[in-house]
A and B are shown apart, each in its own frame.
Chain A
């Protein structure tokens, strides 16, 4: 009862206790000090080591020494040579040496002293040590476990004196498995044949169902979504103008395909971090790196180019950290991380990888596009040359002058306002509405003329004519370029489009990265080169300078203690509702400790051993007895394990926004099952997009595009699709590793009254009538239950609903049984149809309908 009461009280505030600030922690307080002041001569690097002393390991620091006492004597700071030396009044003895210019402050000395006093522990946070697969523990109940996972889970339950829940009903299991693996409910046929097989051989039936679902192309559509959340994918630029990115979906489809092909996660990672740097990269690999092009583009005039460029690099760095390392790196933008052993310098070393990448869109023609383009370009170029000929060579000279202006504005800003402004416009507006890279236009002006492609020249001219006038007004007038602009614009329209998805490319003109003082790019501090945090495994590079490809390889190194744990935890969360680490974005010392640390490690090791095989991981998880438990809650659950931390049952999960849509469309039989393609705009109430944004418009899709799966719905950053926003679509402007599962009246209003769900309830009613017209009430209701909830109704439910349909039929009949817009179906009275619409609406609004049980 207590939990029930609590669940109705609004959250008021979180006062979660932060760690005790006074407690000395090695990783937070000591390691950075030693690293900064001592390790350059007494660290890991044997070449640089002085006096044979190393302070980066416990054994080195406490080793007996011939000419003095040990540097550190645990528990005894006054006898420790280290303390003696750092506090020595004699400049010849004092450490660090005076000439190093890095003497220790009083507070720092106090910290070192207390740390030694407390035993000089060199502890390493659990997540930063490599995972070890231990043999699964013994359990009392030998019958229950079906694999290693269950041993870990059961051992913990037995320790707590709890027993696992019974296996769920087979129909409930198939519905759960189906939603979990492909995001759609089982069909009636699938349900029937599964039940049939289950009776004869449950294990074989289960295994066959897993096989069938793992090989379904629907799997990618379901499993791409959490990855899109991490990348914060959307179909628009964001910010004021929120222009379209018409080719963004190419990366989304790449992700869907990668999951369907079961691309090994290490390769999946490599291609997204540095697909462009793989020798002989395919178009697909280039598109993959579009992961990092989900950053926002501000195309508002007055924006400072560098400020917004830096914001994107900050976003990329943070997104990288949350996605692959499970670390919150943002803190270290302004200062050393307070909790995790990442310094501000190390942050900027990681940042440097992304700082040296240019936003670029690549030609990736869809079938047919290239042929059409190749045919048209011949004519285009001939006409182009004819149009331009009368003003040549003056136009050529003027453009070179303008390019010169752009380059000097870049070198010496602040000299001429118009010049600065023209550069800014070129930077922010290039390719607007096409989702093209900002600064790409500026990049082209920096490429020597002879090295540019003809297409680059043509596009530069189009841009120049449209926006290059500022500061060159007289020349424009003299050459009558505004007229030429009209002609070139018209000509450009004759050129068939080539799809140009977004990606990154190694910077054409490398940038030096500096530490931003207090995180401000306007006050550059020390220069840094690309690198990875010291507290993790070393970065090995094939050469200098180190590149994003090195970062990618470092990320998927088997020595990386984080990446496999982070991944298996995130997949676990998707299936079980809660990660073994409840903070999937934070495996640092502020994150939640794992509830089952050994299980997490076992899964991580097994995952890498399997060749980073995602489908194998999914199979391992859903095959477990843990997964197959019933989700029913008993009084004991409420009392002993209300949040299901111990996994004493299966956790019910409200479906994510997209799956609610998919479930409704599937139940009513109107789901369009085409795979992939451009994003679509299903119906939503008028004005949703327009009222919340500057100038975006929602052009509702037509035909079967209205009934596509949720994953294909256009994501307008500033005003996301209403139904999705109501059901906790994460803010598409930031990386998200854990969605909310809220429960609000607006959700009720959506399912009751939103035009999509109204249409679905009518379609479902139509389907019932079409497919069951000769059946009696109970058979009809049984059909509805199977289609909507993948189970049969209970006797009580049957009785209630049967009465409901009769009553509703009578009411509709009493009103004449017909609606203005309604087309009566054959063989049925409209009143009865309307009653089934009522029933369909009831079904779509049940808690069970939108919940994976």
Chain B
């Protein structure tokens, strides 16, 4: 942790920390050896997280969770016991089972079955830990995205990236600790910027979005006609006057302001360097798919994510939207898979060959799954079916950073309707991610409105079978 990075305010510090020095609190936060006896490894593996958030909910049944039984029963009515008593108009509305139009085949030495739409991710099967038994508790995008990102279905709670940068600080001297990259206009992220919100945490823990039009970071470029030297000359004068005022006034907050301005200036240098890919080899650029218009936007974000963790950014959230395939799933799913598959595979391969995968946890997933039944909707013709929202089962994978490579965790029933073995709720996933960073999810707390809040609320169990 670098103490000159992203200074906080004196008032915050005094209000919120009961231990004087941040470092002491940090020490208490880390899982300590011997205390968590049920976990196989207490050593902190991951330093950073790259969170590939697949907004809109990709279909587990067509990508990661093959169901021969579903194929066999295609066109039949879903078993009554699954729908009976279910107060869920969305899932109930579509009673006809719908086979996956995709082919699955085993990959790697461990033979994990993955859809033919994801050959790249398939080729990295030996490095990933696939959780097939995810479930959540809402089937509406907004609240589900909030739950998946912030651990709560209501607005106003901090996102995972905010919690993690709040807990661990940043190691970068000139970049923000929590960065968000979107690979399209951002369109289709239902919960919007709330998925990288700082919630009730101080605002320096909000995800800083790198934009794809104009400046990568808001206002990172000087105004037109103002050169770097001009800016420096202004900053020198600002610093001089601030320092004089500090002497006269005595408020240490002014010192923080001076530090913020210096960091801002360093960022103005660091960001262009970060986003400049000319030092990357042609092979690297091709591996990330930057030569191809389809794979480029997401691939470039994956490459940027790697460059960020190399430079000490703690949490990179890469968002791809939108996987909400209500109709014509077979065609639309391919479009999104083609956009992300190359970048995902390149990211794991590249991190691995650079020796960064051990300390970087990569997480891939959306807010819920999709129905094993086809969707009833006016104007959907046979052959153009889709799947509706489904909260009871979905898949997420992790790689590196302490996740167990070449593993499948949990399973769903024969139809992919319910997670049945080793069920993993979103809270459990969060607890596991924090664990990989060496943070005990029950001890990462923040006092707000009279109580201590956590990313995992009052829930969450570390998924030990997913750990290396």
> Which A residues are closer than 8 A to B by beta carbons?
3-4, 6-18, 238-240, 242, 296, 298, 300, 302-304, 311, 322, 328, 330-331, 339, 413-414, 417, 420-421, 424, 470, 473, 522, 578, 582-583, 585-586, 588, 590-591, 631-634, 637-638, 642-643, 652, 654, 685-688, 690-695, 718-719, 722, 725-726, 728, 731, 733-734, 740-750, 752-755, 758, 794, 796-797, 800-801, 804, 807-808, 811, 819-822, 834, 838, 841-842, 845-848, 853
Contact = CB atoms under 8 A, between A and B. Distances in A.
B269 interface: no
Given A7-B7, A9-B8, A743-B257, A14 B142 contact: no
A298 B194 CA distance: 15
A6 B24 CA distance: 12
A719 B197 CA distance: 10
A821 B237 CA distance: 25
B256 interface: yes
A470 B378 contact: yes
A6 B92 CA distance: 56
Contacts of B186: 690-693
Contacts of A330: 449
A845 B257 CA distance: 10
B366 interface: no
Contacts of A695: 187
- Name, among A691, A742, A745, the residue most crowded by chain B CB atoms within 10 Å (CB to CB): A745
Given A838-B234, A846-B238, A744 B260 contact: yes
A764 to B, nearest CB: 14
B245 to A, nearest CB: 6
B26 A847 contact: no
A10 B451 CA distance: 21
B213 A686 contact: yes
A296 B93 CA distance: 27
Interface string B294-322: 00000000000000000000000000000
B386 interface: no
Contact of A300 (B142, B169, B209, B219): B142
A693 B242 contact: no
A687 B20 CA distance: 41
A742 B22 CA distance: 17
A559 B188 CA distance: 51
B241 A797 contact: yes
Interface of B: 1, 3-23, 25-26, 28-29, 87, 89-90, 92-93, 139-142, 154-156, 166-170, 176, 182, 185-194, 197, 199-200, 202-204, 206, 208-209, 211-215, 217-225, 230-231, 233-234, 237-238, 240-242, 244-245, 248-261, 263-264, 267-268, 376, 378, 388-389, 443-447, 449-452
Given A694-B190, A743-B253, A753-B223, A417 B89 contact: yes
A822 B224 CA distance: 11
B376 A417 contact: yes
A41 B212 CA distance: 69
B192 A242 contact: yes
A232 to B, nearest CB: 9
Contact of A15 (B18, B189, B202, B244): B18
Contacts of B16: 11, 14, 16
Given A417-B93, A842-B238, A753 B256 contact: no
Contacts of B23: 9, 12
A841 B14 contact: no
Given A582-B15, A642-B10, A590 B87 contact: no
B452 A16 contact: yes
- Name, among A12, A302, A726, the residue most crowded by chain B CB atoms within 10 Å (CB to CB): A12
B417 to A, nearest CB: 18
A12 B29 contact: yes
B261 A17 contact: no
Nearest to A330: B449
Contacts of B223: 753, 755, 758
B123 to A, nearest CB: 32
Given A722-B218, A753-B223, 7 more contacts: A15-B18, A300-B141, A652-B253, A691-B185, A693-B192, A743-B256, A744-B6
Contacts of B9: 7, 741-743
Contacts of B447: 14, 16
Contacts, number: 345
Nearest to A762: B223
A740 B267 contact: no
Nearest to A585: B449
Contact of A16 (B18, B87, B142): B18
Contacts of B189: 692-694
Nearest to A5: B3
A226 to B, nearest CB: 17
A753 B182 contact: no
B244 A797 contact: yes
A13 B155 contact: no
Contact of B18 (A17, A642, A740, A848): A17
B60 to A, nearest CB: 19
Nearest to B165: A10
Given A16-B452, A692-B186, A804 B237 contact: yes
Given A7-B255, A719-B193, A842-B234, A853 B7 contact: no
Given A3-B10, A302-B139, A694-B188, A847 B254 contact: yes
A298 B146 CA distance: 14
B435 to A, nearest CB: 16
B371 to A, nearest CB: 12
A414 B223 CA distance: 59
Contacts of B263: 745, 748
B325 to A, nearest CB: 14
Contacts of B264: 745-746, 748-749, 752
Would you list the 4 A-B pairs with minimal beta carbon distance, nearest first? A633-B250, A718-B192, A733-B155, A590-B450
Contacts of A811: 230, 233
A687 B11 CA distance: 33
B155 A11 contact: no
Contact of A742 (B8, B191, B215, B258): B8
Nearest to B2: A10
Nearest to A3: B252
A695 to B, nearest CB: 7
B94 to A, nearest CB: 9
A340 B191 CA distance: 33
A8 B256 contact: yes
Contacts of A3: 10, 252
A197 B382 CA distance: 85
B397 to A, nearest CB: 26
A464 to B, nearest CB: 17
A10 B6 contact: yes
B256 A746 contact: no
B465 to A, nearest CB: 28
B389 A302 contact: yes
Nearest to A734: B156
Given A11-B22, A692-B193, A820 B225 contact: yes
B451 A11 contact: no
A845 B255 contact: no
B255 A4 contact: yes
Contact of A796 (B3, B20, B244, B446): B244
B220 A749 contact: yes
A310 to B, nearest CB: 12
Given A6-B10, A588-B450, A728-B203, A753 B249 contact: no
Contacts of B4: 8
Contact of A848 (B219, B245, B255): B245
A663 to B, nearest CB: 16
A811 B231 CA distance: 13
A838 B233 contact: yes
A754 B251 contact: no
Contacts of B250: 632-634, 637-638
Contact of A686 (B155, B203, B214): B214
A725 B203 CA distance: 8
Contact of B252 (A4, A819, A838): A4
